[in-house]
Amino acid sequence: MRNLIILAILIGLLHACNISSNLSSKKNTITFANNEVVAHRGAWKTKGLPQNSIASLKNAIDLNCTGSEFDVRMTADDVLIVTHDGDYHELIIEESTYAELAKFQLPNGEKLPTLKDYLIAGMTENDSTGLVCEIKPSQEEGRNIKIANKVMALVEDLNAENYISYYISFSYEILKKIREINPLAKTLYLDGSKKPEALKFDGITGLDYHFSEFKNHPDWIKKSKDYGLILNAWTANETEDIDWLLANGFDLITTDNPELVFERIKESPTSQDWKLVWSDEFNYSGKPDSTKWGYSYGFLSNREEQYYTDNLNNARVENGLLTIETRKEKIVNAQYKSDEFKNKSWLKYIAAIDTAKYTSARLTTAGLASWKYARIEVKAKLPRGVGLWPAIWMLGENRKEVGWPKCGEIDIMEHVGFNPDSIFGTIHTEAYNHMKKTEKGKSIYIEKPYDNYHVFALEWTPEKMDFILDGVVYNHIKNEHKTVAEWPFDQKFYLILNVAVGGMLGGQKGIADDIFPNQMMIDYVRVYQK
Ligand code: MG
């Protein structure tokens, strides 16, 4: 019997040695997968696994996520466990022993994982996925430091340092303690209350804030990059938010939906090396940002009947959207009898109108921003009604010197109210333009342009221009490498957003008078360059 016991102890010791030598030999062997995806409490959703279970961690590893997040708490008898809430099966964790808590299994039959179990699982058959360790703050005075000390001691005991990608916490005290214990440990702060400069000053590695914090403080994104801070956002589960984070070059995206984030990465321009260089997400209210947008005023051309203003009624930002509103309202024409127009044969009609009947807005980046070669994306919902002519388009920066059409025009999206099912993507140049009926344009069917948002995009390189509706290229124009008469597109162009009323194109079937006021809604404008 005694021999058996000794044998059992020996086997136990050997086994323990084996585990620890396995673990120590694994040190330095992991390279985290090269993607942005951090599974929030493991990857549990698709397979219906419990959050913070070892099964959900393993699933995150199988999915090749760069990180898998989990939550650490400490029981009354100082056992570190992995679970989210402060209570478990109606027992307060900090007031209950591990034995009391562990009577209740997870819904998949797993034992309530200790941090030790969890780390060992994360160090086994894993060559992709970093462990993102969230330490939950304690309710009890002084206990935060104790938890931080114990977590760090366990990680050291298990030689698990290289498997931990980051420590995260809502407690600044905990993060600072971690830095003190191991200055090489990476720490991300979860509470959105601190500015990037404060984190940098305190030696915190980065920000892991709710994505809305970054939408409210878009300048934090650039600042964080400038300071070399890691940018992480939680918890992005919707396509729209994920796309926004990818566009803005976040290092990490914490999600309940890793599969969706992987899908969106494939679709994102950033995966083809496009970098966001300019954008307006319209996450503010009032007039459009004057550092990004200027206005056109009055009547312009094409015998259009709208009078452009900078009134809030005609262009405003609210609820995350830019609205361009056409209105039926009388406004005195400041260009009436103006010498500027009286003597120009094609514009003298402007000098003859004393009062305009409609108002609208035309926003332009002219003089503020322009680009040579770019991918431009505008997500918008179009205005409905016969007589309206909304457009998202560009003009060459040399227009004042050489005039139209020599300067070139790129119509990323044109739509006319009398043809509700189509949009057009077109270029005009000296050789190809609508005066000669040689412009290069194509149309595409568009579903519910007045009820749904669509993404209108242009991908413009030295070799080609692609006009894209919701990811589908419908007009592809090649650079023929002839002269600037065919291809004036090796220069900077600025962007214009407007809704015209009537005019030579929009007014061909008249203007329905019962459609006003009427709005084009723009969710974002994003400009990428290589
Ligand atoms: Mg968490």
Asked whether 166 and 103 are in contact (CB, 8 A), the reply is no
Tell me how far apart the alpha carbons of residues 59 and 129 are, in angstroms, rounded to a whole number.
10
Strands 187-189 and 321-332: unpaired
Q: Tell how far the Cα of 41 is from the centroid of ligand 1, in angstroms.
A: 6
By annotation, the residues acting in catalysis are 409, 414
**Residue ranges of the chain with pLDDT lower than 70?**
1-28
Question: Which residues does 465 contact at the CB level (< 8 Å), separation at least 6?
Answer: 410, 427, 458, 459, 475, 476, 477, 489
pLDDT for res 191: 96
All domains in the chain, ordered by first residue: 27-268 (3.20.20.190), 294-529 (2.60.120.200)
- Both tokens of 330, joined, read 């009388």
pLDDT for res 11: 46
pLDDT for res 168: 98
pLDDT for res 340: 85
Tell me how far apart the alpha carbons of residues 281 and 457 are, in angstroms, rounded to a whole number.
16
Q: Tell how far the Cα of 13 is from the centroid of ligand 1, in angstroms.
A: 35
pLDDT digits (tens, 9 = 90+) for 360-378: 999 999 999 999 999 999 9
Is this structure's pTM higher than 0.75? yes
pLDDT for res 3: 52
pLDDT for res 60: 98
pLDDT for res 344: 84
The residue among 300, 519, 498, 520 whose CA lies nearest residue 391 is 498
Q: Tell how far the Cα of 132 is from the centroid of ligand 1, in angstroms.
A: 9
Tell me how far apart the alpha carbons of residues 530 and 525 are, in angstroms, rounded to a whole number.
17
pLDDT for res 415: 97
Strands 422-428 and 275-280: unpaired
Q: Tell how far the Cα of 237 is from the centroid of ligand 1, in angstroms.
A: 15
Q: Tell how far the Cα of 509 is from the centroid of ligand 1, in angstroms.
A: 58
Residue 68 parent element (H or E) = strand 67-74
